[in-house]
Amino acid sequence: MSKVGIVVQARAAADRLPGKVLLPWGRMTILEHIIQTLTEVPADEHILAVPFKDEALLRRYAGTWHLVAGDEQNVLSRFLRAARAYELDFILRICADSPLINADMCTYLINSLDEEYDFMRLDVPDGFCGGLVSVDALSVVATTHPTSEEREHVTLGVYSRSDFKTITIEPKWSIDTVEEYRDLWGKCRP
């Protein structure tokens, strides 16, 4: 059985909106809200991946999550560092600027894992669920001279290349039959 980790990439600096992950979202920051939401999602590991320079600042928001620090400009290397540290086979990649992340959708995707694919995602708007990517595929991207965009946008190097097998799942989110109920309940609950 594959080991799956949720990895949230976060940094304090951002070109367009510096400090956006620390903006208030209700009674907590956006980052705290995302971590609280995703803690409900059953995964083998929950990891916050941050740049070295933000490690001290963002550590306090990690709570019970593991924290892995790495190169600010090479997010891909941060993900691989997390994968190696916790022996992951697949990563659910989440960006820390997604306050509308949905625990049920993330759970559905993890429970839909098909090891035949290098990358899986749900057909939902960005920010509601991440992408599930194989660590093997990320390792291939990392060793084949990734572009700066592929180092920053971790899964881009997988889903944009024809040599990887990818799928977009189009779930039915409503229930009309017993089978649909069982499928949705079975994939959205631990």
Write out pLDDT tens, residues 129-164: 999 999 999 999 999 999 999 999 999 999 999 999
Q: How far apart are CA 43 and CA 4, in angstroms?
A: 6
Give this prediction's pTM: 0.96
3-state helix, strand, coil in the chain (%, to 5): 40, 20, 40
Predicted pLDDT of residue 166: 97
Predicted pLDDT of residue 190: 62
Predicted pLDDT of residue 127: 95
91 Cβ contact list (under 8 Å, min separation 6): 4, 5, 6, 7, 79, 82, 83, 132, 133, 135, 138
Nearest to 128 by CA among 79, 75, 92, 85: 92
Structural domain that includes position 94: 4-188
Backbone Cα Rg of the chain: 16
Biggest CA pair distance of the chain: 52
**DSSP for residue 20:** G
Tally of structural domains, the chain: 1
Q: Domain of 36: which CATH number?
A: 3.90.550.10
Q: Is 60 helix (H, G, I), strand (E, B) or coil?
A: helix
- Ranges under pLDDT 50 in the chain: none
Instruction: Please state at what angle helix 75-85 crosses helix 135-143, rounded to 10 degrees.
Output: 130
Which residues, listed in sequence order, are joined to residue 45 by a DSSP beta bridge?
Answer: 5
Please count the residues of the chain. Answer: 190
